[in-house]
Amino acid sequence: MSEIIGHQEALEFFNKVIASNNLSHAYCFIGPEQVGKRTVAEEIAAKLLQTSRERLSRQPDFITTEQSLNEKTGKTRKDITVEQMRELRARLSQHAFAGGYKVALIDDAEKMNIEAANALLKTLEEPSPRTILFLIAIDEDKLPATILSRCQRIYFHPVKKEELEKYLAARGVTKPELASLALGLPGRLIDWLEDEEKFTAYKAEADRFLGMIGQPFFSKLKSVEELFGEKGGDTIMTRENLDSVLGLWQLLVRDISLTASGLVTETARQIKISIGNQNKNCVALEKQIVEARGLLNQNIHPRLVVENILLNLP
């Protein structure tokens, strides 16, 4: 299991409150995807349960709740359900197997539907003794205020580039562009180290995406023609491939939001200049891409889905 990159302030804070027995019953970790929120939460949970992160999944007093798999479709459900929250509440009400803490982690907490959030609220209002909850979220604005008001919020920011470079150097990796393009996100860096094809795909789509901006529609369409196969057909493979590509486009647009932290890459900087410096342009473009990915799961031809994005791309 990988070490924690950065976030020493958060780790030191929890070391102090654990040592002084001054833990809150609920924390909400807020920050960008792959910044390390869950990793830090698991590290703290392991400390509380007197185990290691490697063994945490086998610890009966550690409970993880996240979007579940729909057995009928084989796909991840879009929501965390009320049934999951009720099950969590029931498990937290039981005595700890080891006689100490019970720790729950709710990943992508903003994915709770309204019924699930209401069920969690009851747990937060009436916490069981020696139970600690960690809510992991990207966007706090998507969580009900009633939930947030009962959690201590901890904000996670992209780590310094030097931290990523130090991590790479310790492993004998001499690819400085990895640290730059990771934009302070340790999870992304580790993903790319474990699967170089992901890094290659990211760079390729960055070049394609940037190359389309400012071009006439027919040129943009020519740039994506290969995505539809030789006959431009509508197949499962075509849809899956397009979803992967749109996912990378979404990632590129989202990267622009990190420019406020001074962690912008040259690619993201050029995209930001091309589509306009107003954040609302980036938000609108990301929303269009998210909607397009949803349409791929419906009975709409993939070409029409992509053409709609290209029409709205500056």
pLDDT of residue 88: 93
Per the prediction, the chain carries an average pLDDT of 84
* Amino acid, res. 272: K
Q: How confident is the model over 61-71, as a mean pLDDT?
A: 85
CATH class in words for 195-312: mainly alpha
Q: How confident is the model over 60-81, as a mean pLDDT?
A: 82
- Is it the case that residue 43 has pLDDT exceeding 90? yes
CATH superfamily of 8-155: P-loop containing nucleotide triphosphate hydrolases (3.40.50.300)
Locate tokens 């003794």: which residue? 129
Quote the pTM value: 0.79
pLDDT, greater one: 236 or 243: 243
What 3-state DSSP class applies to 123? helix
Strands of 131-137's sheet, edge to edge?
A: 62-65, 102-106, 131-137, 26-30, 152-155
Q: What is the four-CA torsion angle of 123, 118, 106, 187, rounded to 10 degrees? A: -140
Q: Which of 307, 301, 311 is nearest to 239 (CA)?
A: 301
Domains of the chain, residue spans: 8-155, 195-312
CA 43-63-135 angle, 5° bins: 65
Count H helices, E strands: the chain? 14, 5
Lookup: tokens for 73 = 């479709």
pLDDT of residue 242: 82
pLDDT of residue 177: 82
pLDDT of residue 69: 72
Confidence of residue 89 (pLDDT cuts 50, 70, 90): very high
DSSP string, 80-114: B-HHHHHHHHHHHTSPPTTSS-EEEEETTGGGB-H
- Number of C-beta neighbours around residue 255 at 10 A: 25
pLDDT of residue 260: 46
- Is it the case that residue 264 has pLDDT exceeding 50? no
What 3-state DSSP class applies to 118? helix
Distance of alpha carbon 305 from alpha carbon 293, whole angstroms: 8
Cα distance from N-terminal residue to C-terminal residue, the chain: 42
Task: Report pLDDT digits (tens) over 114-156.
Answer: 999 999 999 999 888 899 999 999 989 999 999 999 999 999 9
- Is it the case that residue 96 has pLDDT exceeding 80? yes
Element (H, E) at 153: strand 152-155
